[in-house]
Amino acid sequence: MALLGVTVSPFPSKSIPLLPAGGREAALATLQAEIASCAACALAGRIPEARPIHRGKGRIGDRIMVVGQAPGVTGHEHPRPFSGAAGRTLRGWLTAAGFDAGALHDRCYLTSITRCFPGSSGASKGDRMPTAAEVTRCRPFLDRELALVRPELVLALGRLAVTELLGPAPLAAVVGTVREVERADHRFVVLPFSHPSGISRWLNDPANRAHHDRAIALLAGQRQRHGY
């Protein structure tokens, strides 16, 4: 399968030294402790309480990284990523691509663009989209995770994650394509998806559903080719 060329991250990160695996495990533990103690957005008055998700995310050696938008209220109350409805939908997508039932939590590194529940959207159902300032504050954590975990394949879920990894583009233009991205001194393949939240209506459009089906087929192809 041909890739659509290399996309250099729209958000250049600082160079992060490559460590041996043992050093990377220690560095990841340090990073997760830093994330756990971060209260930057609460101090900036953007969220009432910073409760970053930092546990149960994954391990050094996970070959797939899943990048969502931000924890939902379920994640806020039960700090395990993708433990709510979005996780159930995502597990269904992985199953459709031929993965076993435990793959999401047993073999994928789970992260998000921001790490604290942003609160509910005032105008509509669902959670508030993190602001550009929140994304900027949280960005170094994602860069360091990419540099330490060094995933081969990244599943970008939803418009915010797709924009962060590929730059601005309509979901319909990128879901169903494969990109190779260079970021945090690491090169990896990105498969974009819509967000698996039940709030998203993007998949109700038959044309978008066709893009999604193509993305599942591409994910299945990646699994078969690379033995994920």
Residues that bind ligand SF4 (CB under 6 A): 35, 38-42, 50, 52, 114-116, 134, 137-138
Give the nearer residue to ligand SF4 in terms of CB position, either 116 or 165: 116
Judging by DSSP bridges, how do beta strands 153-157 and 64-68 pair with one another?
A: parallel
Give the nearer residue to ligand SF4 in terms of CB position, either 38 or 156: 38
Distance CA 59, CA 66 (A): 12
Length reported for the chain: 228
Give the nearer residue to ligand SF4 in terms of CB position, either 38 or 166: 38
CB burial of residue 15 (10 Å; 0-12, 13-18, 19+): exposed
How far apart are CB 161 and ligand SF4 at their closest, in Å? 14
How far apart are CB 70 and ligand SF4 at their closest, in Å? 7
Distance CA 138, CA 136 (A): 5
Instruction: Note whether 73 and 117 are within 8 A (CB).
Output: yes
Distance CA 151, CA 57 (A): 13
Give the nearer residue to ligand SF4 in terms of CB position, either 44 or 210: 44
Distance CA 125, CA 105 (A): 27
Give the nearer residue to ligand SF4 in terms of CB position, either 116 or 215: 116
How far apart are CB 109 and ligand SF4 at their closest, in Å? 17
How far apart are CB 52 and ligand SF4 at their closest, in Å? 4
Give the nearer residue to ligand SF4 in terms of CB position, either 117 or 188: 117
Q: Comparing C-alpha atoms, which of 115, 148, 180, 176 is closest to residue 17?
A: 148
CB burial of residue 183 (10 Å; 0-12, 13-18, 19+): buried
How far apart are CB 154 and ligand SF4 at their closest, in Å? 19
How far apart are CB 76 and ligand SF4 at their closest, in Å? 11
